[in-house]
C-alpha cells in the first residue's frame, strides 16, 4: 500500500482513498460483516446498497473444514463471491471470550495471507473497558510484541489494532507503537462493549487518544462502530472506516436503524423514502411477513440507513460543515449530546487540525458553540495580539460599526485620531475591530443568544475611557492589514511584514482592501471570501526575514527545492521538516536545506499531519522564487 491519499478534509475528518490488491477503498466507508456460516443478504444486494468492501472472520473460516478448504483452494474472494477489497479479522474476540483458540498469531496471519485477504489482522489482545491499568498495559505490550515479532508480511496490508481500554495514555502509547510497525492499517479495538451500551462519551476519549497519536498516512478503523447515530462524530474525530454486524443484529430483534437512533418495527407508521422497503411494503405488511423474510427486509433497511448516513457525512466534509452537522445532530439523543460535551473538552487539540477558514458559513447556536475549535483559536490568539500591542482599549457600540460593510469615513476619522485599541462585540466576545472581516467573524450566522452578563458588561464598557481627539496618529487600513497578519502568522508579524511605507489599495467597486504594495511590488492580496492574505513572493521574503527558526516554514530536499522555485507544488515525500504549528489552509514558506526561501504557497494539511503523509500535495505553490516578483496592479 502506498499510503492514504487525502482528497478533501474538514479538520480531522477526511475523504480519501487507499489501494489494496483487489481495488481502491474510498473513505469514509463501512465494511459490512459477512459470516460465511450464516449468510444474511446476498453480496449483490449489499453492493447495490453501497457496499464496496467487506470484512469476514478468518478464524471462523479456518476452523470449518469445508470453508477452509474452499478458501485455501480458491481464495476468500471466491468464498464470499466478491472480487473487491476484503478484510479479515483474526479471532481476537473469540480468543477473548473462550480464553484460548487453537492457532497462534503467526499461523492466523499466514492463513489470512494464504487465502488472499487484502487486509489481514494480527491476533491482538482484547482489552475490556473495565480492565485495570496494569492489565490493559500488558495487553498493549503483548499486542505490540506479537506484531513486532512477525516477519515482513507481503501481498497483504497488515492491521495492527490499537488497544488500551479506557486509559488514554495507554491508547496514546498503543497508537504510537502500532504506527511504528509494519502495520499499514490501524483499527481501534476493544470498543464493542462501549458501543453496545451507548457509552459514546467514553468512546470520544478512546478515539481522540488513538487518532491524534497515530500515523496519519494509515487509515483508522473503528471496530464495531456501525450505528449511524455515532458515525458523524466518529468521522469528525478522524475515523476512516467502520465495520459492523449491527444491520443484522438489530434486524433479528425487530429493530430498525435511523440516523438519530433505533426504532422498533412495532412502533413505526411508515418507512422513509431512502429505505428499500419504501413503496414495496407497508409497515403492516412487513410485520406480517414470515420471520426470515421480515428479518431480510429489516436488514436491508438497516444497511441502507448506514450508507445513507455515510453519504451525508461525505457531503458535509466536502462542504466543510461536519462540525456544525454533528453539533446539531448531537441534540437528537442524550447519550450523543453527552458525547458532544466530552468532545468539547478536546477543542484545543482539534483546533490544531482545523483549516484557517472554511468554505461554509460559521454557525453560532448557543454558549456550547463558544467551546468549539474556532473559538478556542480566537481565545488563544487575540489576547496574545492585544498583549503584544499594549496600550488602552475602547469598546465600540454596535451602532458605531457595521459588520459586512466597509467602515465609513466618520469611524475611520475617529479611529485614526485615537491611539486606543478598538474592540467590537461578537457572540459574547470582544474582538479587535481590524479583524471584523476575517473568518469566522464576518462569515457567520448566529442565533443571537447573547448572555445577559455580556450585555450588561457592554452597556458599562462602551465608550469608557475615550481620549480627546488630536491629529491623526495612525492609518486605519494599514493597521487593519497588520492585525490580520498578526492573527494569521503570529503576534508581531504584521508590523514587520507591512512597514510604514506600505501602500494599501482598495477595490473601487466594493471599497474593500484588495492588495498591499511596497515600492511597487505586491506583498499580499486580501481574499474576499475569508479576509486572510495570499502572499506574493516579496511578501514571503519579508515574512521569512522576520520569522525565527522554523516558524511558518516547510523545509524540502534540495532536488525538490529546484522544482518548487519554478512554481511546482510540494509533495509530502520531499519534506524534511516543518513548523508543527502550521495551520491547514494557511500560507507557508517553502525553504531549502539551508533555509533559503524557494516558494510560497498554501498548506494542504496541518503541521502535525504533514510529517506523516507520503502521498499527495503538501503545499500548493502560488509563486516560486525564480518566477520573479508580481507588481502591484491597477485598482478595479
Report the catalytic residues: 89
Per the CB < 8 A criterion, the answer to whether 115 and 76 are in contact is yes
Cell output for 283: 409497515
Question: How far is the C-alpha of 608 from the C-alpha of 59, rounded, in Å?
Answer: 37
Strands (E), 284-329: none
Burial class (CB in 10 A: 0-12, 13-18, 19+), 75: middle
- CA distance readout (Å), 310 to 1, 97, 227, 361: 24, 31, 11, 22
Distances (CA, A) of 57 to 86, 119, 458, 615: 10, 12, 63, 31
183, 217 in Cβ contact below 8 A?
A: no
Q: How far apart are alpha carbons 478 and 486 in whole angstroms?
A: 12
Strand partners, 518: 521
- For 273-282, the CB contacts below 8 A with 24+ separation are 274/304, 274/305, 274/308, 275/301, 275/304, 275/305, 276/49, 276/300, 276/301, 276/304, 277/301
Let me know if 126 is exposed, middle or buried by CB neighbors in 10 A (0-12, 13-18, 19+).
buried
Asked if residues 144 and 174 have their Cβ atoms less than 8 Å apart, the reply is: yes
How many CB atoms sit inside 10 A of residue 53's CB? 24
Q: What is the DSSP letter of 183?
A: -
86 in Cβ contact with 56 (< 8 Å): yes
CA distance 598 to 541: 9
Distances (CA, A) of 474 to 406, 409, 412, 413, 418: 18, 14, 10, 10, 8
Chain centroid offset of residue 310 CA: 15
Amino acid at each position: 500500500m502506498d499510503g492514504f491519499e487525502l482528497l478533501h478534509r474538514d479538520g480531522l475528518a477526511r475523504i480519501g482513498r487507499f489501494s489494496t490488491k483487489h481495488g481502491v477503498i474510498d473513505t469514509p466507508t463501512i465494511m459490512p460483516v459477512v459470516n460465511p456460516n450464516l449468510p444474511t443478504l446476498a453480496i449483490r444486494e449489499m453492493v447495490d446498497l453501497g457496499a464496496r468492501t467487506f470484512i469476514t472472520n478468518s478464524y471462523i473460516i479456518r476452523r470449518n473444514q469445508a470453508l477452509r478448504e474452499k478458501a485455501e483452494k480458491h481464495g476468500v474472494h471466491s468464498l464470499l463471491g466478491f472480487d473487491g477489497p476484503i478484510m479479515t479479522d483474526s479471532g481476537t474476540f473469540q480468543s477473548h471470550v473462550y480464553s484460548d483458540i487453537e492457532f497462534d498469531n503467526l499461523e492466523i496471519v499466514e492463513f489470512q495471507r494464504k487465502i488472499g485477504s487484502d487486509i489481514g489482522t494480527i491476533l491482538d489482545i482484547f482489552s475490556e473497558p473495565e480492565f485495570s491499568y496494569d492489565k490493559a498495559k500488558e495487553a498493549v505490550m503483548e499486542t505490540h510484541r506479537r506484531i513486532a515479532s512477525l516477519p515482513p508480511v507481503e501481498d497483504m496490508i497488515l492491521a495492527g489494532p490499537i488497544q488500551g481500554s479506557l486509559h488514554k495514555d495507554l491508547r496514546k502509547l498503543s497508537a504510537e507503537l502500532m504506527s511504528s510497525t509494519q502495520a499499514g492499517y490501524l483499527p481501534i479495538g476493544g470498543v464493542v462493549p462501549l458501543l453496545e451500551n451507548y457509552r459514546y462519551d467514553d468512546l470520544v476519549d478512546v478515539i481522540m487518544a488513538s487518532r491524534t497519536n497515530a500515523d496519519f498516512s494509515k487509515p483508522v478503523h473503528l471496530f464495531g462502530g456501525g450505528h449511524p447515530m455515532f458515525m458523524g462524530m466518529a468521522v469528525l474525530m478522524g475515523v476512516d472506516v467502520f465495520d459492523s454486524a449491527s444491520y443484522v443484529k438489530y434486524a433479528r430483534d425487530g429493530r430498525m436503524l435511523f440516523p438519530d437512533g433505533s426504532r422498533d418495527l412495532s412502533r413505526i407508521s411508515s418507512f422513509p423514502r431512502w429505505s428499500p422497503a419504501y413503496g414495496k411494503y407497508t409497515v403492516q405488511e412487513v410485520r406480517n411477513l414470515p420471520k426470515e423474510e421480515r428479518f431480510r427486509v429489516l436488514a436491508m433497511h438497516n444497511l441502507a440507513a448506514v450508507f445513507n448516513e455515510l453519504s451525508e457525512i461525505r457531503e458535509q466534509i466536502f462542504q466543510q460543515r461536519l462540525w456544525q452537522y454533528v453539533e446539531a445532530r448531537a441534540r437528537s439523543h442524550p447519550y450523543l449530546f453527552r458525547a458532544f460535551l466530552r468532545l468539547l473538552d478536546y477543542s484545543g487539540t482539534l483546533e490544531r487540525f482545523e483549516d484557517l477558514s472554511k468554505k461554509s458559513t460559521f454557525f453560532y447556536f448557543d454558549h456550547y458553540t463558544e467551546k468549539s475549535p474556532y473559538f478556542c483559536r480566537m481565545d488563544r490568539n487575540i489576547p496574545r495580539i492585544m498583549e503584544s500591542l499594549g496600550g488602552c482599549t475602547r469598546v465600540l457600540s454596535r451602532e458605531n460599526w457595521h459588520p459586512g460593510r466597509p467602515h465609513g469615513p466618520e469611524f475611520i476619522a475617529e479611529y485614526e485620531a485615537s491611539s486606543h485599541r478598538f474592540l467590537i462585540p461578537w457572540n459574547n466576545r470582544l474582538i479587535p475591530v481590524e479583524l471584523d472581516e476575517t473568518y469566522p467573524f464576518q462569515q457567520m450566522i448566529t442565533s443571537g443568544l447573547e448572555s445577559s452578563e455580556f450585555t450588561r458588561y457592554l452597556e458599562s464598557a462602551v465608550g469608557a475611557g475615550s481620549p480627546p481627539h488630536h491629529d491623526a496618529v495612525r492609518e486605519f487600513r494599514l493597521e487593519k492589514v497588520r492585525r490580520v497578519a498578526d492573527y494569521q502568522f503570529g503576534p508581531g508579524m504584521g508590523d514587520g511584514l507591512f512597514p510604514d511605507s506600505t501602500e494599501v489599495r482598495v477595490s473601487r467597486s466594493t471599497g474593500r482592501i484588495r492588495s498591499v504594495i511596497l515600492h511597487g511590488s505586491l506583498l499580499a492580496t486580501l481574499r474576499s471570501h475569508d479576509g486572510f492574505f495570499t502572499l506574493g513572493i516579496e511578501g514571503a521574503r519579508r515574512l521569512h526575514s522576520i520569522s525565527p527558526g522554523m516558524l511558518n516554514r516547510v523545509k524540502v530536499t534540495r532536488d525538490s527545492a529546484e522544482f518548487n522555485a519554478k512554481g511546482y507544488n510540494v509533495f509530502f515525500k520531499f519534506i524534511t521538516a516543518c513548523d508543527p504549528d502550521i495551520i491547514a489552509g494557511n500560507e507557508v514558506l517553502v525553504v531549502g536545506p539551508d533555509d533559503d526561501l524557494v516558494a510560497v504557497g498554501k498548506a494542504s494539511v496541518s503541521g502535525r499531519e504533514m510529517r506523516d503523509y507520503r502521498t499527495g500535495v503538501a503545499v500548493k505553490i502560488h509563486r516560486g522564487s525564480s518566477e520573479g516578483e508580481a507588481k502591484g496592479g491597477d485598482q478595479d
